[in-house]
Amino acid sequence: MLYLCLGAACVCWVSDYLCRYYPVCQSVSGMLVLGHAAQAFGAKGPHPCTETDYYYEYTECDSTGSRWRVAIPQSHGSCIGLPEPVRGTECTFSCEAGEFLEMSAQECTQCAAGTYSLGSGIRFDDWETIPTGFSSLATYLDNGPHGDDSTACNSSSWFPQGSYLESNRDECTVSLIYAVHLKKPGSVSFDYQYPDGNLFFVFFVQNDQCQEMDQTADKKWLKLTNGHSKPRSLLCVFKVNLNSGTNILYWRTAGVLMGAKVVKPVLLKNVHIEGVAYASECFPCKPGTFSQTPGSSSCQPCPRDTHSGHGASSCTPCNTTTLYAPEGSAECKARPPCSKKDYFQIHTPCDLEGKTQVTYRWVEPQICLVGVPGAETLPPSGDREACPPCNPGFYNNDTATCSPCPPGTFSDGVKACESCPAGTEPAVGYQYKWWNVLPASMKTSCFNVGNSKCDGMNGYGVANPPSGKLLGWEVAGDHIRSGAGGSDNDYLILNLHVPGFK
């Protein structure tokens, strides 16, 4: 910790890390005297320091709550004449969301348009590359004949995939590491997908003395996000409290390969750390997002049919005659010719005459082109036909819709509801045989770890929503079937809500 500056000489403890950056150091009764670096170089030595040759850091706070701002060279011995240490801001100092600490003036400054900051937090949601500060370390723990092969895991790492990180798939033990210094107690949270038990996945925290923070097993060994034993969600949010001071975060994976089976990797995204006193810089908006005004604490997704690159303050429209872009896009894509995957079949609701009809609609928003070579056209609508009966437990209420039988009655779906014979009661439950409309107790949805919106794939609990959007699942008379996903990684989910039976 820095204690005193006298003219050209600074006094610090021997253990003070600043001493290593100054070439002139001599011991004085257990302390060090730091002289100007210029004294050590001859006339032909390194060039005078400019602002690009160094950056500023704060020393640790002392017992009085004081600290110093010091200049740290980008590389040792590259220049002479570093700025003198000056007294820093109070240790309780902090910046608001949308601001960062400009170290030259030691003042909070608004983030420019196209960037953002969380103030007391750090968020990583752009994984085109592994962000600065993260490192990946791979080791091979096999004690067999090849256990000493130091090159076995050279290519094993966490891999950036745009909107998320993907873990290794091999037998190497790979650690993703990030160190952060918190001025107050905080937390770290992240989203993850962990689908394969043949890959071990743990998260733990160490302090700057390599001592592991106390964590219960459920806060260290992460749970599978899907499996055979019971249904699990496809994406989990994990959060751990952090102590003030230095926290070194570890995400560690290790595979257990069984024959030729391919291990499914762990996916990681949306890492959010709270507890820093200030942001040292503003983060640029990731591609597909923008911040229009200075002092933003977040970036907004670009509207449909627009796009943006890194650090955008606005979104650029696509030429919608030939191009399109989903919401939050980094680029415009060519509109393909329409194919059979671009339309879907629905049964119209029963009319007052008890008739229904098969019709076809384009998936909306329609991105495909009609009238170009190789493009499909919509098939003609089918003939009007009699509606199927209601499902068991429901009856036709003369309004062309099916309603549940009142308590104490039953129906096979064809006849009117009847009272149960004396001494009996209805066997309450759901039995769906006919799929002209999606039952009110069901809804469809879509999940994709790389695209949380799954554009156009989320259902509304009815077979033909007013917008005409494609449902994740489609009703087809006597059965229900999955629709066409927007990409190969889409999960099309059909959910039945059962409130319970009495």
Question: Please, which pLDDT band fits residue 464 given cuts at 50, 70 and 90?
Answer: very low
Mean pLDDT value of segment 62-87: 87
User: With a threshold of 0.85, does the pTM exceed it?
Assistant: no
φ, ψ for residue 342 (rounded to 5)? -95, 0
> Among 335-344, 392-401, 422-431, which is the least confidently predicted range?
392-401
Residue 465, pLDDT score: 45
Question: Sign (positive/negative) of CA torsion 36, 39, 41, 47?
Answer: positive
Point out the least confidently predicted range of 93-107, 136-150, 317-331: 136-150
What integer pLDDT is reported at residue 487 of this predicted model?
A: 61
Pairwise pLDDT comparison (226 vs 266), residue with the higher score:
266
pLDDT at 404 over 80: yes
| Tokens 């733990």, residue located | 204
> Strand pairing of 86-87 and 442-447?
unpaired
Confidence class for position 307, pLDDT limits 50, 70, 90: very high
CA distance 55 to 73: 7
pLDDT of residue 294: 96
Class of 121-274 per CATH? Answer: mainly beta
Beta-bridge partners for 27: 32
pLDDT category of residue 6 using cuts at 50, 70 and 90: very low
**Residue-level pLDDT at 234:** 66
Burial group, residue 307, by CB count within 10 angstroms (0-12, 13-18, 19+): buried
- Over the Cα atoms of the chain, what is R_g? 32
Note the pLDDT of residue 290: 98
Measured CA distances, 356 to 319, 348, 359, 471 (Å): 40, 5, 10, 19
**Residue 231 burial (CB < 10 Å; 0-12/13-18/19+)?**
exposed
DSSP 79: E
Give yes or no for residue 232 having a pLDDT over 60.
no
Per-residue pLDDT tens over the stretch 157-167: 999 998 899 99
C-alpha triplet 218, 222, 226: angle, nearest 5°:
120
Q: How far is CA 334 from CA 177, 323, 477, in A?
A: 39, 5, 35
Q: How far apart are CA 232 and CA 484, in angstroms?
A: 23
Per-residue pLDDT, averaged over 288-313, amounts to: 95
**β partners of residue 192:** 236, 268
pLDDT at 120: 85
Q: Is the pLDDT of residue 374 over 50?
A: yes
The pLDDT tens digits of the residues spanning 471-485 come to: 578 787 888 888 766
For residue 460, is pLDDT > 50?
no
Cα(first)–Cα(last) distance of the chain, in Å?
70
In this structure, what token pair is assigned to residue 360?
């076809």
pLDDT above 50 for 463: no
Percent of the chain past pLDDT 90, that is, above it, reads 35
The winner for highest mean pLDDT among 224-228, 257-261, 277-281 is 277-281
Cis peptide bond upstream of 365, omega within 30: yes
Instruction: Give the confidence band of 1 by pLDDT, cuts at 50, 70, 90.
Output: very low
Cβ atoms within 10 Å, residue 64: 7
Q: Closest Cα partner for 212 from 201, 225, 202, 223?
A: 202
pLDDT of residue 260: 64
Length of the chain: 502
Separation CA 85–CA 56 (nearest Å): 10
Read off the amino acid at residue 391.
Answer: N
347 pairs with which residues across the strands?
A: 358
Q: What is the pLDDT of residue 471?
A: 54
Q: What is the pLDDT of residue 291?
A: 97
Domain-wise residue ranges, the chain: 2-87, 121-274, 336-388+434-502, 389-429
pLDDT of 500 strictly over 80: no
pLDDT confidence bin for 150, thresholds 50/70/90 = low
pLDDT tens digit sequence for 173-186: 999 999 998 888 99
Question: Which tokens go with 430?
Answer: 């759901």
What's the CA gap between 293 and 313, in Å, rounded? 8
CA distances from 84 to 22, 38, 56, 77, 104 (A): 12, 13, 11, 16, 12
The mean per-residue pLDDT over the stretch 48-53 comes to 89
Give the model's pLDDT for residue 372. Answer: 94
- 427: tokens are 């066997």
418: its two tokens:
């009847």
Q: Beta-carbon neighbour count of residue 214 at 10 Å?
A: 8
Instruction: Provide the pLDDT confidence category of residue 29 given band limits of 50, 70 and 90.
Output: very low
Q: Give the C-alpha separation, 177 to 194, whole Å.
A: 18
DSSP string across 420-450? PPTT-----------BSS--TTEEEEEE-TT
Phi, psi (5° rounding) for residue 384?
Answer: -70, 135
The rounded percent of the chain whose pLDDT value lies above 70 is 79
Question: What sign has the CA pseudo-torsion 7, 13, 14, 16?
Answer: negative
pLDDT of residue 488: 61
**In whole numbers, what is the pLDDT of the chain averaged over residues?**
80
**What mean pLDDT is predicted for residues 102-106?**
90
Q: Which residue has the tokens 């348009």?
A: 113
Q: Which tokens in the block code for residue 139?
A: 């080791």
Q: What is the pLDDT of residue 10?
A: 40
* Amino acid 442: pLDDT: 87
Distance (Å, rounded) from C-alpha 225 to C-alpha 205? 22
pLDDT at 226 over 50: yes
What average pLDDT does range 307-313 have in this prediction?
A: 96
For position 489, what pLDDT does the model report? 66
User: What's the confidence (pLDDT) of residue 220?
Assistant: 77
Q: Which of 1-5, 41-45, 296-300, 392-396 has the highest mean pLDDT?
A: 296-300
